[in-house]
Amino acid sequence: MQNQYMMVVGPKHAEKFKKGYPLIEKEALQDVEELQEEGAILHLVDQKNRFIGIGYYGKQNKGYGWMLSRKEGEVIDQSFFYKRLKSAISNRKSFYEDANTTAFRVFNGEGDGVGGVTIEYFDGYYVINWYSEGIYQFKDDIINALKGLVDFKGIYEKKRFDTKGKYVEDDDFVTGERGEFPLIVKENGVNFAVYLNEGAMVGVFLDQRNVRKQIRDVYAKGKNVLNMFSYTGAFSVFAAVGGASKTTSVDVANRSLPKTIEQFSLNGVDYEAQDIIVDDVFKYFKFAAKKNLSYDLVILDPPSFAKTKKHTFSAAKDYKNLLKDTIAITENGGVIVASTNASNFDMNRFKTFIDAAFKETNGKYKILEEHTLPEDFKTITEFKQGDYLKVVFIKKIK
């Protein structure tokens, strides 16, 4: 049984919570030093002792916990999580029924009413991501609730709350039958190999589903495509399936080569006709510029923070310069797919980076389309940071 604390909230934060803000920040709580064990239930009241809501204490990089309920007296137990999960699963009904897409997000943290945890579906297997030791204290209640709602082959978990929010190395298997990996899943009819037991990431980022589909259906045909920070080559695979004349995938991680070969092969694409380059992306920009290489379609999807031997990249500080390097090797009339998952700035600010990059290179551009998170990544308007994905398709004009 979790410990319970009555916590007084300062006036500014009390107003935010009353308007539906879900993140419990350290500054919101008076007497925060009283909190000892993660997973404790917090009964939040204002300075006049009026009820605000019920949350839990769980430290992650974003804050000290999440609001769970605004109903006074509500008990946070298995039936509470059952109701939240049931509602989320029902919202994904169309995904469960789509034979062409067998990988999607079932539960999206605060967007579905419980911050600090996400659940993804991979063709009968579920992967639960725990983002704090606090939410992990509710593990049995959440897993038992899930088991009561869905048929499954197996359940895996990722504990992402080691120091500085890093992944805790583990076997990751929880219950059911162990998967045989790679597990082949589909996204809009394209095959992906995923590994649910190989570290923090499984091999594909599900939040880019709609962007990949657009690249395949609208932008790739006949184009020479460059995919920077390519990870396992998902964008390249969609471009190749969409009829790209050639794809070049660049990523600094050694594993990107065999993983990208695997994804191409699963989709009948001759990987030897593609370029898969293991190199520092920043170095490759210089190489491409020196060799006068240019591309019709460039996909730019860096992590929000990255460090290589010679470069440290922060999206908020460095994205503009990354775009300038990209503009230099994009054909006139070509398209740049600029993407970021940084949650510390919004789409408007992202567009200022784009505008500045073109102005500083004396270039002109036209925004063709914009994307944020897909439908299964449910968000709430009261928590703008939760809608972190920003993707802009930009045409470089002569």
Tell me: the pLDDT tens digits for 176-206?
999 999 999 999 999 999 999 988 889 999 9
pLDDT of residue 142: 98
Peptide bond before residue 182 is cis, with ω within 30 degrees of 0: yes
pLDDT of res. 165: 59
Model pLDDT, residue 309: 75
pLDDT of residue 31: 87
Q: What b/e sequence results for 178-187 when a residue is b if at least 16 CB atoms lie within 10 Å of its CB, and e otherwise?
A: ebeebbebeb
Integer Cα distance of 235 and 212 in angstroms: 6
Length of the chain (residues): 398
Intervals of the chain under pLDDT 50: none
Nearest CA among 172, 170, 169, 208 for reference residue 188: 208
CA distance 84 to 115: 11
The answer to whether the CB of 334 falls within 8 A of the CB of 297 is yes
Alpha helices in 242-362, H assignment, sequence order: 256-266, 281-290, 315-328, 347-360
Q: Which amino acid is at 9?
A: V
Q: How far is CA 282 from CA 16, 263, 279, 322, 396, in A?
A: 41, 24, 9, 8, 21
Q: Look at residues 38, 30, 71, 33 and name the one whose alpha carbon lies nearest to residue 54.
A: 71
Q: In whole angstroms, how far apart are CA 244 and each of 221, 240, 269?
A: 5, 5, 11
Q: What is the pLDDT of residues 84-143, one digit of tens each?
A: 999 999 999 999 999 999 999 999 999 999 999 999 999 999 999 999 999 999 999 999
Q: Max Cα separation, the chain?
A: 69
- The pTM of the full predicted model, rounded to 2 decimals, is 0.96
Q: Measure the CA–CA gap between 229 and 245, rounded to whole angstroms.
A: 20
